[in-house]
Structure 1
Amino acid sequence: MIAKASAPAKTILFGEHSVVYDEPAIAGAVNKRAYITIKESKSDKSIFRAPDIGFEAELLSKQKKYILTKGKPGIIRYILESLYRAHDHSPIDITLSSNVPIGSGLGSSAAVTVATLAALYRYHNIRFNKKSLAHDAHMVEQAVQGVASPLDTLVSTYGGLVYLSRNKKVEHFKVNFNAPLVVGFTTKHGNTGKMVKDVKNLKNRNPKIINPVITAMGNLTNYAKQAILKKDYNKVGELMNINHGFLDVIGVNTLELSRMVYNAREAGAIGSKTTGAGGGGSIIALCPGKVDEVANAIARDDSILKVRFTRRGVSSRVYK
């Protein structure tokens, strides 16, 4: 039996970091995906392979450990935590294929986690729905990172553009806000767990300064929600630019990220900002009518992806 599953990457439009402190956020699934295939091992060992990134390891799932065969560790922790929670530790082969750059701020860990759990549930014939899958995937991310927002795994599970309120109520945008986006990403990968902890430490050291900034980021997200519902692209772009300034204040932007942000704006983007945890990773640029110009400007120094939002969430099936 072979179980296969895939899940989309995501981009956060508004609310990264502040969402950890119960402020609202807006994020959308994009048309880049992680694909997981699980089948019975031909040996007595469990093996994980990710040929796209040149990674291979033997998995000791019961101990949450691995023996590195080749490549550099990173995404492996999410695989091991998923196996620990949803696998009987029998020998299996797991293969990851992905067109989501690892560590680029597009929620690669969430996409991989959601796809891995969905494939494991199919492999073991465990019944699940999207609500339970999103919850379980969030628990995996939280176990690995220490502190994690439910937003990434929620979007990778359900797809579409979503608003997460202060009381954790999820609203799916019905309006078709499918403006062209350019994602720029650096060779310096961000570490979500580290960045979340760094912001928490900054907040603890300077509560009277950082707490109002976190609240302001939440208020900005609510303004953005109304702008999206009205399809007011210019307002959304303006709010993206302000949001980037807030991310500067909490210390998650880097020289490389800001370089891409300003290159995008100079080339015609109406809004650009860091997306994701920061410390490396990605920026996102809203650029109706200027996609090629913005992409070319960023690509002079960094890598780019042209993306659009997608309504397609997790997908899984079993082959006998």
Structure 2
Amino acid sequence: MITAQAPGKLYIAGEYAVVETGLPAIIVALNQFVTVTIEKSEDYGSIVSKQYQENSIYWLRQGDKMVFDNRDNPFHYILSAIHLTERYALEMGKHLTLYHLHINSELDSEDGKKYGLGSSAAVTVATVKALLDFYELPITKDKLYKLAAIAHLDVQGNGSLGDIAASVYGGWIAYQAFDRGWLEAMRRETSLHDLLAMAWPQLNIDLLTPPDNLKLMIGWTGSPASTSQLVDKITIAKAKKRQDYQRFLQNSEQCIKQMIVGFKTKDLTLIQQQIRRNRELLHTLSSFSHVSIETPLLQKMCNLAEGLGGAAKTSGAGGGDCGIAILNKSLATEELAQNWVDNGIERLNLAVHNVTL
């Protein structure tokens, strides 16, 4: 039996701007996981999720194609990961077989709450990773990222793929997106094997080490948001407000580059300054796009953290889900946690996760 895990993630800063080629963001991987297990089968294959037993699906082989018994299934990212990884396995001369694939996610709560921790990215990464192992194909982080990024992009159609990078590389990362137009063109004329070996234009993934006195706290507001829909709305707005949008991108790039300097020089004060600056920039984006990024409860969460000396902002697309606070470890973090609870904000007791293959 093959088992693979991938962690969830949270954006620290650089949201929205990061969907543009070459613009940076800072992301962190967390110690909540999607686990995928694969067991060889002789008669039929299955894809079973512990969270969605009623939607488990079964399939057969017709040549090298997977044929499904039921048409309506929620596992688009898993199926895309399977399709792409098996295409790569065929290119590498492997014989495709039947198997049972089991998925278990810690990224949503037992009662179905969605925390916005990047479950679709984590399940894509874990599925690709497990299948590469199952078919005895060498795994590197670069190869895993590129396969999972393509599979995820085939389903979602937008986004930066930064959540894929966090699930693959782990820890704190500075990330900037590759040129998706280039990838689309190259896929039409290049094998997967060659594509995975190429340098992807503008792609940059840089591992960061936080200052020793940095404390990350995560608050969840109980209101799930759709990243894809929010990104779509911003895409519409940028066509109408080109100058405002370009100014936002330039300012975001400067902000994140300064924050990266803060990580590399272990300067917590500089990191906190840029967290606050990034929050201001997201307010500006929200204002001219008319997209609600910082909800009233997220605003409350941030203001409570600021009141105790932290720097706080929304995480990811906003509109609900999580916010983050960066504090000095010497501060009364438990007081902040209690203040959040008193105001209907759930503290997520998560830690940063470093990945090893």
Q: Specify the alignment match of 1:296 in structure 2.
A: 338
Distance, in Å, in 2 between the alignment partners of 1:231 and 1:65 is 55
Q: Structure 1 unaligned runs (5+)?
A: 316-320
Q: Structure 2 unaligned runs (5+)?
A: 60-64, 87-95, 178-201, 286-290
Q: How many residues align?
A: 306
- Mapped contact 2:30–2:351 kept (Cα < 8 A): yes
SS at match of 2:282: helix
Stretches (4+) displaced over 6 A: none
Distance, in Å, in 2 between the alignment partners of 1:282 and 1:78 is 23
Distance, in Å, in 2 between the alignment partners of 1:219 and 1:155 is 22
Alignment of 1:1-320 (within 5 A): 2-21=1-20, 22-40=22-40, 44-51=44-51, 56-58=55-57, 62=66, 73=74, 76-87=75-86, 88=96, 90-99=98-107, 103-164=114-175, 167-174=202-209, 176=211, 179-250=214-285, 251=291, 252-266=293-307, 268-288=308-328, 289-300=331-342, 301-310=344-353, 312-313=354-355, 315=357
1:171 Cα deviation from its structure 2 partner: 2.1
SS at match of 1:180: strand
Q: Specify the alignment match of 2:89 in structure 1.
A: none
1:89 Cα deviation from its structure 2 partner: 7.3
Which AA in structure 2 matches 1:79? I
Distance, in Å, in 2 between the alignment partners of 1:275 and 1:233 is 19
- Mapped contact 2:313–2:325 kept (Cα < 8 A): yes
Distance, in Å, in 1 between the alignment partners of 2:107 and 2:278 is 27
Indicate how the Cα distance of structure 1 residues 40 and 89 shifts in structure 2: closer, same or farther if over 3 A, else same: closer
Indicate how the Cα distance of structure 1 residues 174 and 48 shifts in structure 2: closer, same or farther if over 3 A, else same: same
Which AA in structure 2 matches 1:138? A
Indicate how the Cα distance of structure 1 residues 77 and 231 shifts in structure 2: closer, same or farther if over 3 A, else same: same
Give me the TM-score of the superposition, normalised by structure 2.
Answer: 0.76
| Deviation readout 1:7-48 (Å, 9 max, x if unpaired) | 222222221111111311122222332222222358635132
Indicate how the Cα distance of structure 1 residues 107 and 124 shifts in structure 2: closer, same or farther if over 3 A, else same: same
- Mapped contact 2:107–2:115 kept (Cα < 8 A): no
The structure whose RCO (Cα within 8 Å, separation 6+) is larger is 1
| Larger gyration radius, structure 1 or structure 2 | 2
| Deviation readout 1:153-196 (Å, 9 max, x if unpaired) | 11211112222358333222256557221111133212122122
1:217 Cα deviation from its structure 2 partner: 0.9
Give me the TM-score of the superposition, normalised by structure 1.
Answer: 0.84
Deviates more, 1:8-17 or 1:95-104: 95-104
| Deviation readout 1:201-236 (Å, 9 max, x if unpaired) | 111111111221122111100111112222222222
Deviates more, 1:159-168 or 1:274-283: 159-168
- Mapped contact 2:132–2:138 kept (Cα < 8 A): yes
Indicate how the Cα distance of structure 1 residues 63 and 124 shifts in structure 2: closer, same or farther if over 3 A, else same: same
Aligned residues with identical type, % of pairs: 25
| Deviation readout 1:50-95 (Å, 9 max, x if unpaired) | 33x77642155946896679xxx5xx32112112222457352312
- Mapped contact 2:107–2:114 kept (Cα < 8 A): no
Deviates more, 1:285-294 or 1:35-44: 35-44
| Deviation readout 1:219-273 (Å, 9 max, x if unpaired) | 100111112222222222222122122223333332332232223323x151111
